[in-house]
């Protein structure tokens, strides 16, 4: 599929022209590609690094319609010379995308995952939903503009791999003492989630297993995910090498086709009745 529903948006490859001021207060004019668009937002890559909350002008080169956007998140660490940037529409000069966007389901908030953020001003940290970006874009260097109830202002929040990475001098965020089972086990395992391709995201995963001549369903929560796999906790006992099917992320009532995967590792977290299961997605057969 060339399109993928994501927060009421679609995956695209669309040439756009972006003009604005870089963090070095230098004017830039770049022709790049939009990778994810929605009625009110767009994800692009820029050579120039931009500050949060700054305004840029973007023009769709397919129809020469432009609009003013605000920088809502940015990855300060360039990958191959490119910075991932999230923009929020302020004012459009016409039908900017000329796309029929999929309607959001009733009650759907568009959140695909959760991640730890920390306010750079006061140190407050929060496990919160991240509907603005694809999970794969969450990594070191990710900054997002959000309202801080302590600072009473919109501040820069940085991505953290977990609550233990936040400033220990800051007071714990509301609800942080009530960590989920996966978060508690994550600390016990002491895993280094900064390794390449890993993001510590908590989301639901649905696993389908063929056991004893019947199909077993297992709905669990991930500890971390990567581009081709996931690590999750389960009450069920999986076998290394077992072929399964998974829906990730899983939302009850959503129509999603499971994809094949294989169990590549099983850990036994100390002091817990849960099993930690690592899976790798497999290429679907032609």
Give the closest residue to 262 by CA, choosing from 248, 273, 278, 251: 278
Please give the pLDDT value at position 83: 92
- Whether pLDDT at 4 is above 50: no
Q: Please tell me whether residues 14 and 83 are part of one structural domain.
A: yes
Q: Is 275 a domain residue?
A: yes
Q: Is 268 a domain residue?
A: yes
Q: Is 185 a domain residue?
A: no
Buried b / exposed e across 129-151, counting CB within 10 Å, b at 16+?
ebbbbbbebbbeebbbbbebeee
Q: Please tell me whether residues 145 and 84 are part of one structural domain.
A: no
**Is 231 in a helix, a strand, or coil?**
strand
- Whether pLDDT at 284 is above 70: no
Q: Please tell me whether residues 159 and 215 are part of one structural domain.
A: no
Last residue of a domain, one of 57, 92, 127: 92
Q: How many domains does the chain have?
A: 3
Inter-CA distances, 96 with 3, 67, 157, 168, 275, Å: 18, 7, 29, 45, 48
- Whether pLDDT at 198 is above 90: no
As given in the structure block, the two tokens for residue 237 are 């006992």
176-177-180-186 Cα dihedral, nearest 10 degrees: 90
Give the closest residue to 284 by CA, choosing from 251, 254, 262: 262
Q: Is 190 a domain residue?
A: no
- Count the neighbouring beta carbons within 10 Å of the beta carbon of residue 57: 14
Q: Is 102 a domain residue?
A: no
Q: Please tell me whether residues 118 and 87 are part of one structural domain.
A: no
- Whether pLDDT at 168 is above 70: no
On average, the pLDDT of the chain sits at 77
Most confident listed range (3-17, 40-54, 191-205): 40-54
Q: Please tell me whether residues 57 and 120 are part of one structural domain.
A: no
Q: Please tell me whether residues 23 and 73 are part of one structural domain.
A: yes
* CA atoms of 223 and 169, how far apart (whole Å): 26
Mean pLDDT over 136-163 rounds to 79
Please give the pLDDT value at position 271: 77
When comparing pLDDT for 194 and 14, which is higher? 14
Contacts 24+ apart (CB under 8 A), 132-135: 132/7, 132/41, 132/72, 132/73, 132/86, 133/43, 133/73, 133/84, 133/86, 134/6, 134/36, 134/43, 135/199, 135/201, 135/203, 135/225
Q: Is 265 a domain residue?
A: yes
- Count the neighbouring beta carbons within 10 Å of the beta carbon of residue 256: 11
The rounded percent of the chain whose pLDDT value lies above 70 is 73
Q: Please tell me whether residues 58 and 16 are part of one structural domain.
A: yes
Tell me which of 29-43, 69-83, 197-211 is least confident. 197-211
pTM: 0.56
Q: Is 109 a domain residue?
A: no
CATH number at residue 82: 2.40.10.220
Q: Is 250 a domain residue?
A: yes
Q: Please tell me whether residues 19 and 75 are part of one structural domain.
A: yes
Q: Please tell me whether residues 33 and 85 are part of one structural domain.
A: yes
pLDDT in tens, 10-51: 777 889 999 999 988 889 999 999 988 888 889 999 999 999
Q: Please tell me whether residues 14 and 87 are part of one structural domain.
A: yes
Last residue of a domain, one of 59, 92, 125: 92
- Whether pLDDT at 80 is above 60: yes
Q: Please tell me whether residues 15 and 84 are part of one structural domain.
A: yes
- Whether pLDDT at 258 is above 70: yes
User: 264: domain range?
Assistant: 204-281
Q: Please tell me whether residues 45 and 81 are part of one structural domain.
A: yes
């Amino acid at each position: 599929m060339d399109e993928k529903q994501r927060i009421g948006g679609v995956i695209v490859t669309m040439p756009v022209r972006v003009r604005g001021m870089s963090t070095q207060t230098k004017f830039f004019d770049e022709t790049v590609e939009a990778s994810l668009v929605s009625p009110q937002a767009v994800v692009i890559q820029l050579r120039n690094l931009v500050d949060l909350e700054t305004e840029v002008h973007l023009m769709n080169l397919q129809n020469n319609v432009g609009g003013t956007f605000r920088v809502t998140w940015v990855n300060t660490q360039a990958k191959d010379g490119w910075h991932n940037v999230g923009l929020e529409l302020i004012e459009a000069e016409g039908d900017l995308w000329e796309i029929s966007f999929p309607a959001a389901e009733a009650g759907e908030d568009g959140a695909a995952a959760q991640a730890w953020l920390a306010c750079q001003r006061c140190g407050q940290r929060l496990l919160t939903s991240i509907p603005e970006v694809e999970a794969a874009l969450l990594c070191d260097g990710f900054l997002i503009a959000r309202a801080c109830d302590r600072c009473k202002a919109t501040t820069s929040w940085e991505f953290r791999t977990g609550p233990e990475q936040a400033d220990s001098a800051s007071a714990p965020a509301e609800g942080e003492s009530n960590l989920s089972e996966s978060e508690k086990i994550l600390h016990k395992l002491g895993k280094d989630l900064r390794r390449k391709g890993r993001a510590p995201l908590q989301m639901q995963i649905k696993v389908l297993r063929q056991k004893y001549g019947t199909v077993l369903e297992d709905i669990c929560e991930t500890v971390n995910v990567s581009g081709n796999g996931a690590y999750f906790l389960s009450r069920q006992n999986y076998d290394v090498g077992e072929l399964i099917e998974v829906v990730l992320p899983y939302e009850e009532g959503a129509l999603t086709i499971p994809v094949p995967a294989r169990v590549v590792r099983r850990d036994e977290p100390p002091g817990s009745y849960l099993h930690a299961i690592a899976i790798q997605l497999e290429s679907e057969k032609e």
